[in-house]
Structure 1
Amino acid sequence: MSILTVFYIKLLLNVGLTAGIIWSVKKATLIQQWQQKNDTLAFSLGFLILRLIPWVMIFLVLNEVPRGDVPFFFYKAEGAKAGGFVYRDFWSYHAPLFAYIISLPLWLWHNSRAIVLLMVLMETLILWSTYRTYKPEKTNALQASLIYWMLPASFMYILIDGQEEVWFWGLALLMWRHVKKNPEDYEVGLGVIFAIALLTTKATFVFFLPPLLISVRRPIKMLLVMAAIGLPALAFLYWRIGDLFLMPIQHTEQLMTPNLFSITRPIIELFVHIDTSNSTLVNWLGLITTMLLVSYLAYRGRVNPLTHTLPALFIATFACMMIFQASAPGAYLIAYLLAVVFDIVDLRNNKHLIILLVLSWLTVVQPFVNVYIKQPDYTRFCMLTNPVYLFDWLLQVLNVACFFWLVSRTATKIVTPKHLTPA
Structure 2
Amino acid sequence: MIFFEDTVSVVKVAVSLLLALASWLLIRFPAPFRHYLNPRPALTLWVSFIGLRVIPFIIVYLIMDFAPRSDTEFFYKKAIAAFAGKMVYRDFLSYHGPLFGYLISLPLYLWYNAKILIPFMAIVEFAIVWATWRYYQSSRPDALLMAVLYFLLPMPFVAMILSSEEDIWFWGVGLITLAYASRAQGSLWIGIIWGLSMIVIKSMIIVLLVPLFFLVDNKFKYVLGLAIVGIPSIVILYLLMGDAFLMPLQHSGYNMTPNIVSITRPFLSGVYNQISLTRLNTISLCITMALSSWAAIRYRHLGYRQIFPSLYVLTFGIFMLAQPSAPGFYLFMYMIVVLYEMVKIEDRSFNVQLILLNFLIVIEPIIWVIYVGMLNYDDWHTVFSSGVNTADYLIQVVEVGLLLALVWRTFVHLRSLDRAASQSFAASSQRTGSSPVS
TM-score bracket for this pair, using the shorter chain length:
over 0.9
Please, what TM-score do these two structures have when normalized by structure 2? 0.91
Inter-partner Cα distance in structure 2 for 1:417 and 1:63 = 49
Match of 1:66, SS state, is coil
After the TM superposition, which of the residue ranges 278-287 and 355-364 deviates more from structure 2?
Answer: 278-287
Match of 2:306, SS state, is helix
Aligned to 2:27: 25
CA contact (8 A) 2:154 2:362 kept: yes
Aligned to 2:311: 313
Inter-partner Cα distance in structure 2 for 1:13 and 1:36 = 26
Aligned to 1:165: 167
Inter-partner Cα distance in structure 1 for 2:248 and 2:66 = 29
Q: CA deviation at 1:299?
A: 1.2
Amino acid at match of 1:382: H
After the TM superposition, which of the residue ranges 302-311 and 121-130 deviates more from structure 2?
Answer: 302-311
Match of 1:269, SS state, is helix
Inter-partner Cα distance in structure 1 for 2:50 and 2:272 = 53
Aligned to 1:287: 285
What is the percent sequence identity of the aligned residues?
A: 32
Inter-partner Cα distance in structure 2 for 1:220 and 1:237 = 25
Aligned to 2:106: 104
Q: CA deviation at 1:339?
A: 0.8
Inter-partner Cα distance in structure 1 for 2:213 and 2:262 = 31
CA contact (8 A) 1:301 1:416 kept: no
Inter-partner Cα distance in structure 1 for 2:193 and 2:337 = 18
Amino acid at match of 2:114: S
CA contact (8 A) 1:258 1:396 kept: yes
Aligned to 1:396: 396
> Which structure 2 segments of 5+ residues have no match?
425-438
Aligned to 1:375: 374
Matched pairs, number: 418
CA contact (8 A) 2:72 2:114 kept: yes
Map 1:113-192; keep pairs closer than 5 Å.
113-179=115-181, 181-182=182-183, 185-192=185-192
Q: CA deviation at 1:26?
A: 4.6
Aligned to 1:82: 84
Amino acid at match of 1:225: G
Inter-partner Cα distance in structure 2 for 1:114 and 1:80 = 15
> Which structure 1 segments of 5+ residues have no match?
none
CA contact (8 A) 2:48 2:148 kept: yes
The runs of at least 4 aligned residues of structure 1 exceeding 6 Å deviation read none
Inter-partner Cα distance in structure 2 for 1:50 and 1:388 = 31
Q: CA deviation at 1:19?
A: 2.8
Aligned to 1:248: 248
Match of 1:46, SS state, is helix
CA contact (8 A) 1:133 1:177 kept: no
Q: CA deviation at 1:274?
A: 3.9
Match of 2:70, SS state, is coil
Q: CA deviation at 1:230?
A: 1.3
Please, what TM-score do these two structures have when normalized by structure 1? 0.95
Amino acid at match of 2:366: F
Aligned to 1:216: 216
1:58 aligns with 2:60: yes
CA contact (8 A) 1:297 1:415 kept: no
Inter-partner Cα distance in structure 2 for 1:248 and 1:320 = 21
Q: CA deviation at 1:83?
A: 0.6
Inter-partner Cα distance in structure 1 for 2:84 and 2:254 = 30
Deviation string, structure 1 residues 376-422 (Cα, Å, up to 9, x no partner): 11111222222322211111111111111111111122244545279
**Pair 1:213–1:35, CA change in 2 (3 A):** farther
Inter-partner Cα distance in structure 2 for 1:57 and 1:416 = 45
